[in-house]
Every structure is written in C-alpha cells, then in structure tokens.
Amino acid sequence: MKDKYLSIHHEPALGAGRPMADPAEQRAAAPRPGASDHEQLRDSVAGEPALSEQFDPTRYARWLAEQRSRTTLAGNLIITLAVALASGPLAVAGALLVGRRTWWSTIYLVLLGPIVEELFKQAGMIYLLEKKPYRLFAAWQFIFAGAVSGLGFATVENLIYLHVYLSRVTTEDWQALAQYRWTWCTLLHVSCATVASLGLMRAWRQQLRDGQPAELARGFPWFFVAISIHGMYNLSALLVGPWLR
C-alpha cells in the first residue's frame, strides 16, 4: 500500500494514476500550453534516474529514434547550414557593444566579449541540440557549423571594422589592417568557434549514450578553452598594439 501510494504515477503532473475529480488538479495534469513533445519528455519528473524502476527510461531514446526516422538527410543538412550561417552575424551584436576605450570596454574585450561571442556563435546548434535533437545525426555537423559560424562572424566584423570604423585611415594603413584582419582575425574566430563546437559535440555524444536529453554543462570545458584563447588574443592585441603604431 505504501509503495503504491508513493508511486510517481500519483504525481498530478504525470497525468496518470488515481482519478482526478478536482478541476484544478486536472489543469495541473495537463501538458504545458505550447510545449512540444520534446519539451514534455525533457522536463518530465519521470526522467529522473531514481525513478527508472517505476517508469520506462527508454522513452526519450525511442522518441528521438522515431523523430529521426521522419527526417531526411537533405533537410538535416539544410537546417545545419542555415543555423550555422545565422549564428555568425548574430554574434556580431556582442562585438558591437564595445564603445570607447575605457576601463569598461577593456574588461569587455578581454572577458565578457569573448564569452558573448563564443556562446552566440554556437546559438544555432544549441537550439538544435535543445529543441530539435533529431536533426543531429553526425559529429561533423558541430565542427562544420562551428567553422561556418566563425567564418560568418569574422566576415561581418571585418567588413564593419574596415568600412565603418577604419574608413578614415590612410590607404597604406587600411591595406595593412585589412590584410591582418582577413588572416589572423578570421583564423582566430574560426578556430575558437570550432573548439567551442567540440563541447556541443561532447554533450550530443553523451545524449546518444544515455538516451536522455543533452546536458550543455558537459560542453563547458571546451567553451572555457575557446573563451580563454579569444580573451588572451584580445589582451595581447591591447598590450602589443600601441607598440606597433
């Protein structure tokens, strides 16, 4: 009797177990308005490992396999390319927050800027991993999307810097700056975005092994490496830049 009473099937949010005559309780048992099947599975208390004996722990894995069977390779590739192309320009918004060369902008360039930029470069793939994981079928998708996102970010940022912020410098200086930005700055953004993408790939692989929703925290070490590289580069540019003038 005690085990039956304490069963998770008596949890109103699961919509199962004892009859619910109370209208308020029935509303609590109903799925969250607008919640997708993936969100209901991901947020259910039945996903807790300790409840595996009372609830089928393979539900999420079976749902993922079923959804994946309904997708096409061409559709998955198009969506991967689309989110990769969108993430780069989206991340430029973070770079544009830097104003005058004050102490705040220095802190932003070295610490907050790299965090914002590297996270936004992965925004598209984070969305897929969190909302549409059935669109992800291979590890190379993350690396490809990271590289494309980094290249897109570098392209937009270079165009803004060279044709807006640096449009009044001499022709000789502009050419030198253009060469520098299209080589080293582009390489930096592509490399850092690719490193951060390894973190998402790690979370995705863990999802496949566990048959449970992805935990982004598993990718944080790789994000930390990418952010650190980016921040050290910005710091070195601030320190060495004046000596090169």
1-46 pLDDT per residue, tens: 545 555 555 555 554 444 444 554 444 445 555 556 666 666 555 5
Tell me the C-alpha distance between 118 and 193, whole Å: 6
Q: What is the pLDDT of residues 63-116, one digit of tens each?
A: 989 999 999 999 999 999 999 999 998 888 766 765 455 566 778 788 888 998
158 and 52 in a common domain: no
96 and 212 in a common domain: yes
Domain around 117:
72-244
42 and 92 in a common domain: no
pLDDT of amino acid 112: 85
- Final residue before a domain boundary, out of 65, 82, 108: 65
| CA pseudo-torsion sign 80, 86, 87, 88 | positive
Per the listing, tokens 């790690």 go with 202
As given in the structure block, the two tokens for residue 239 are 């320190």
Task: Report whether 180 contacts 160 (CB < 8 A).
Answer: no
Tell me the C-alpha distance between 149 and 163, whole Å: 21
Residue type present at position 87: S
79 and 45 in a common domain: no
Per the listing, tokens 């490193």 go with 195
Q: What is the pLDDT of residues 53-62, one digit of tens each?
A: 455 668 888 8
pLDDT of amino acid 11: 53
Tell me the C-alpha distance between 222 and 197, whole Å: 8
Helical ranges in the chain per DSSP H = 2-5, 23-29, 37-43, 59-69, 73-95, 103-107, 113-121, 123-131, 140-160, 171-180, 186-210, 220-240
> What percent of the chain shows pLDDT beyond 70?
71
- Final residue before a domain boundary, out of 21, 48, 65: 65
99 and 213 in a common domain: yes
| Tally of domains within the chain | 2
77 and 59 in a common domain: no
Across the range 222-227, mean pLDDT stands at: 97
Q: Is the pLDDT of residue 117 over 80?
A: yes
170 and 60 in a common domain: no
- Final residue before a domain boundary, out of 15, 47, 65: 65
